[in-house]
Structure 1
Amino acid sequence: MSAIEWLIIILVILGGAFSVIASIGIIRLPDVYSRLHSTGKSSVTASILILLSTFLYFLYHHQLFLGKVLLGIAFIVITVPIAVFIIARTAYRSGTSLHKSSVRDELKPYYDQLKDVDNDKKQENNG
């Protein structure tokens, strides 16, 4: 086996391992924010590794340059972090609580300030 084939095997195994880590994170972590962090990071890494191994396989064995696979990698890298951010922000704004072992809530003062500004605007409009 050549070095490229070994690299493909290693990438597939690492991608599978990161997928397993993401699955364990969903099951074991205490709150939605920790779960999102785990799945966001691990699933992006797993997808990149598996798609990269697919790209290398077809490039090496069939001499095919699959630009769509590279576009898929770029799409995943761009969209998954944005989706995770939006889900986490929505969860926070809807009042989903942090786990009791969470030490800091750095967003609380910011959203409290926004609520105060919102309340002031409502009072101005009503009064």
Structure 2
Amino acid sequence: MNDILIMIIISLGTLFILLAAIGLLRMPDLYLRMSVTTKAATLGVGLILLGLALYYMETSITTRVIAIIVFLLLTAPISAHVIGRAAYFVGVPMWKKTKIDDLKGMYNTKTHDLMSGFEEEEKPEAED
């Protein structure tokens, strides 16, 4: 029964990695590609590592697997965010059918600061 559970978990992991690879090829722009690959590949690798921890059932391997999974969950979204932000600031175009650009007009090209949108509303008006 344990072997069947391990095969299911590892198979699901490989399926998510396959979906990430397909998404990388099928998505139209950098931002969507990053979203698909970050989420699906992180989940896929995490499931494969979980299956390996269940297979070996040793404390040293399980602690390493948990450490790797935590490291992946912490670093993959952060690195995708940084890459996406850099791509946006450099001017990598969005997909032509993208309807909403929440950052448009919020980025100062000289200081590389993002405004929150509330900053303009909170500015006191000049008195005459």
Fold-level match, TM-score > 0.5? yes
TM-score, normalised relative to structure 2: 0.81
Give per-residue Cα distances to partners, 1:66-94, cap 9 Å, x unaligned. 21111001110100110100110010000
1:117 is displaced (CA, Å) by 7.3
Answer yes or no: is 1:86 the counterpart of 2:75.
no
TM-score, normalised relative to structure 1: 0.82
Give per-residue Cα distances to partners, 1:10-57, cap 9 Å, x unaligned. 111100000110001111100000000000000110011000001110
* Aligned residue pair count: 110
Map of 2:10 onto structure 1:
12
RMSD: 1.4
CA 116–71 in structure 1, closer or farther in 2 if over 3 Å, else same? closer
Q: In structure 2, what is the Cα distance between the partners aligned to 1:115 and 1:19?
A: 37
Answer yes or no: is 1:97 the counterpart of 2:96.
no
Map of 1:50 onto structure 2:
48
Which of 34, 37, 40 does residue 39 from structure 1 map onto?
37
Q: In structure 1, what is the Cα distance between the partners aligned to 2:33 and 2:79?
A: 14
1:7 is displaced (CA, Å) by 1.3
Which of 68, 72, 77 does residue 72 from structure 1 map onto?
68
CA 115–70 in structure 1, closer or farther in 2 if over 3 Å, else same? same
1:109 is displaced (CA, Å) by 2.4
Q: In structure 1, what is the Cα distance between the partners aligned to 2:38 and 2:110?
A: 32
Structure 1, gaps ≥5 residues long? 119-127
Identity %: 35
Structure 2, gaps ≥5 residues long? 113-128
CA 98–8 in structure 1, closer or farther in 2 if over 3 Å, else same? same
